[in-house]
Amino acid sequence: MYVRKVFNNNVILVADNLHNYILVGKGIGFHKKANDQVKSINKSQLYINADDKWSSMLIKLISNISIEYLEISSLIIEKATKVLESSFDEYLLLVLTDHINFAVLRHMKRMDIKNEILLETKNYYPKEFAIGVYALQVIKDKVNVSLPEDEAGFIALKFVDSSLDDSGKQDAIILTKTISGAIQIVEKDYGSKLDKESISWQRFLVHLRFFLARAVNDKKNVKNVPDDMPLYKYISNRYLKTFKCAQRISDYVESVTHSEVSINEKVYLTIHLERIFMEEE
């Protein structure tokens, strides 16, 4: 294996007789130059196939941003691989690097984006969100930029989207069908009153997707969080019609997924539905 290109002390492009690879690791490019032999690779170094389209896209990306963002992404992916016990699509390095670079640029221009589904991300994907929090710390340490918590949620979803295996793709098909069934329940109850272009409706769809993803994968909705009975009693009495709709959705989801819908989830569904109907009045 020999060096094709040295990007900096920590990132190099190498090749053997069959493939190109990107190696990322502390000091891996130190005193290296093109055509030098690479005799061994430490386990701590990220080893990524860099062939064909992927390779050209990566090199183009690196030519337009600081190489530090590639190093940051590699550290985050390495951490996620261990914590989530999962492998990820090779394009995640590209996607994550580009996302972080753009997020930092936006932040420096005071153009941060509010994450409307931050709460749902925390609740449904706690491990992935922990990776997002870790990512913010790495970014802070490497480039001295403190991104808002919203970005931890956005980064978390990169790992959710990239970790689907074949069984996950099958779950996605079930998820799509279940979402369709839940929407039909809402349409039956409220039909012509729905404004499907409203922000509240879009937020409801996002919330519904996360809720059903948890149910399809048979995961606990809010881990170690007790049911809020006082709030449940208040919501179910205060918004009776909306709560009944949420209850019908819950019954349908339980029948399809064989996963119990928590009291807290019924409360969240009711609140989201109520927002939609308040906008219509």
For residue 150, the domain's CATH number is: 1.10.1790.10
Task: Let me know whether 170 and 276 are in one domain.
Answer: yes
C-alpha to C-alpha distance for 1 and 37, rounded to whole angstroms: 6
Backbone angles phi, psi at 235, to 5 degrees: -65, -45
- Average pLDDT, integer, range 8-16: 83
User: 167 falls in which pLDDT band (50, 70, 90)?
Assistant: low
- Does position 41 have pLDDT exceeding 70, yes or no? no
Question: Residue 135 above 60 pLDDT?
Answer: yes
Structural domain ending residue among the three candidates 163, 185, 215 = 163
Helices (runs of H) and strands (runs of E) counted in the chain: 11, 4
Report yes or no on 29 lying in a domain. yes
Query: What is the CB neighbour count within 10 angstroms for residue 85?
Result: 9
Indicate if 32 and 105 belong to the same structural domain. Answer: no
Average pLDDT, the chain: 82
Q: Does 95 fall in a domain? A: yes
Could you read off the pLDDT of 61-103 as tens digits, one per residue? Answer: 777 888 889 889 989 999 999 999 887 766 788 889 989 999 9
Range of the domain at 17: 1-49
pLDDT value of residue 173: 64
**What's the angle, vertex CA 170, arms to CA 129 and CA 75, rounded to 5?**
30
Pick 36 or 171 by higher pLDDT.
36
Assess whether 243 and 181 both reside in one domain.
yes
Residues 146 and 207 grouped into a single domain: no
Which one-letter DSSP state was computed for residue 252?
H
Are 155 and 77 members of one domain? yes
For residue 189, what are its two tokens?
């109850």
Q: What is the pLDDT of residue 224?
A: 45
Residue 58 lies in a domain: no
CA dihedral 125, 131, 136, 140 (to 10 degrees): 170
64: its two tokens? 């337009």
- Residue 15, pLDDT score: 82
Confidence check: pLDDT of 10 > 70: yes
- The CA distance from 274 to 281, in Å, is 11
Does residue 56 lie in a domain region? no
Do residue 43 and residue 11 come from a single domain? yes
- Count of domains forming the chain: 3
Has residue 124 been placed in a domain? yes
DSSP string, 84-125: TT----TTHHHHHHHHHHHHHHHHHTT-PPP-TTHHHHHHH-
> What CA–CA distance (Å, rounded) separates 221 from 194?
27
> What are the b/e assignments for 172-181, b being 16+ CB within 10 Å?
eebbeebbee
